[in-house]
Structure 1
């Protein structure tokens, strides 16, 4: 099965290396994406959230379907918008420490912007739960590979149009929040949980760590994603 891997903020396609290796070993075809404005030498100017969504849709349209979309952090919102655009092409969406947020809101418009981009901010900007297991060596590694995020990707409103997206099976790999928190959101009336409440099929897999499991628990993340893809392919 083909698997599109969508990185979160400040990361490129190479950040998925442990996962891509495991998927190849399991006989699947991973496609880690580096999104517009994040490749070496590219400018972030003028790049918005929809440009990233459209890049994923273009990659989907070039591959056999159905396929699996995997999105980490802000990449989860991009994956969800792509599933909304092509619900019949998606066998499953996997959210890595992310949730499907509703239309109208930004991914994160509170991050510090410098010019046209959001550089990796000081660690003090993040919540303690984000930084679990991210020791000094891993922080230095993250800083070394970090790519500034186009500012409008963080601040543009999410666009969703097709209720058929709710029929796409969803897996949430819960890292900095436990499964119980997701169930609490579903049971609540919080507006930002509206998408969760309408999902037809939801699986939650706990992988306790901070917000960047590809750095803090790469082998475990690779194993979980691969298991989900194997099960999805078997059910297709």
Structure 2
């Protein structure tokens, strides 16, 4: 199965480097998406540009694909299911959940000009980053790409209710499956109301592709096997 890998904020397709070979060894075909504005053209990209880039990768897949989004890109993965419900076999959300219809894609930080630079590790102290080494943190900061505010502060618009028929797996890194169930019960993930979701725990911080790449690749391969 083709496994489409979408990076979260500030990262390009290289974030998936350490999971590609283990996925290939499992018999599946990974495709790390180069998002416009995050390592891909145009640099002044919009959210629609990113949606179109993901949809184009889905269109090029050999059959229905497993679409994986990390962090904020969990919304991009869900938007792919919205735009291509018949071509997405399952959506996997790693450390994130889809934004509500009509809300901002990722309006967590104030823009500096028209860009959202990486805000520094103080914003991610604790379980998010405890398992990252100082070397990994430094490498992350050097590689971080400011995200256009035309992406981060764009309004999310879903178009096709058939997305709700696409199976969902949530991989829980710095939080637990029990946390997700609690948030859902409290109505904090309205886009997923009423949907069945597979929850998988992984013992890592927010970036398991850096700190637990073999475990993450194994989880994704196993999900693809049963999809």
Give your verdict on TM over 0.5: yes
Which residue number in structure 2 is paired with residue 4 of structure 1?
Answer: 4
User: Which structure has greater helix proportion?
Assistant: 1
Which residue number in structure 2 is paired with residue 217 of structure 1?
Answer: 212
CA RMSD, aligned part only?
1.7
Which of 190, 193, 209 is the matching residue for 2:189? 193
Query: 1:180: how far off?
Result: 0.6
Moved more, 165-174 or 207-216: 207-216
Query: 1:43: how far off?
Result: 5.5
Which of 162, 172, 175 is the matching residue for 2:173? 175
Assess if the C-alpha contact under 8 Å between 1:44 and 1:117 holds in 2. no
* 1:230/1:223 CA distance change after superposition, 3 Å: same
Could you state the TM-score of these two structures normalised by the residue count of structure 1?
0.90
Query: 1:64: how far off?
Result: 2.3
Query: 1:5: how far off?
Result: 0.6
Query: 1:108: how far off?
Result: 2.3
Residue correspondence of structure 1 range 89-108 to structure 2 within 5 A? 89-108=87-106
Query: 1:44: how far off?
Result: 3.1
Secondary structure in 2 matching 1:160: coil
Query: 1:117: how far off?
Result: 1.9
Query: 1:133: how far off?
Result: 0.9
* 1:34/1:126 CA distance change after superposition, 3 Å: same
In 2, Cα distance between equivalents of 1:141 and 1:74: 20
Secondary structure in 1 matching 2:68: strand
* 1:131/1:166 CA distance change after superposition, 3 Å: same
In 2, Cα distance between equivalents of 1:121 and 1:198: 35
Long gaps (5+) in structure 1: none
Assess if the C-alpha contact under 8 Å between 1:106 and 1:156 holds in 2. yes
In 2, Cα distance between equivalents of 1:115 and 1:62: 35
* 1:53/1:158 CA distance change after superposition, 3 Å: same
Which residue number in structure 2 is paired with residue 32 of structure 1?
Answer: 32
- Deviations, residues 6-36 of structure 1 (Å, cap 9, x unaligned): 0011111111112211111111111101101
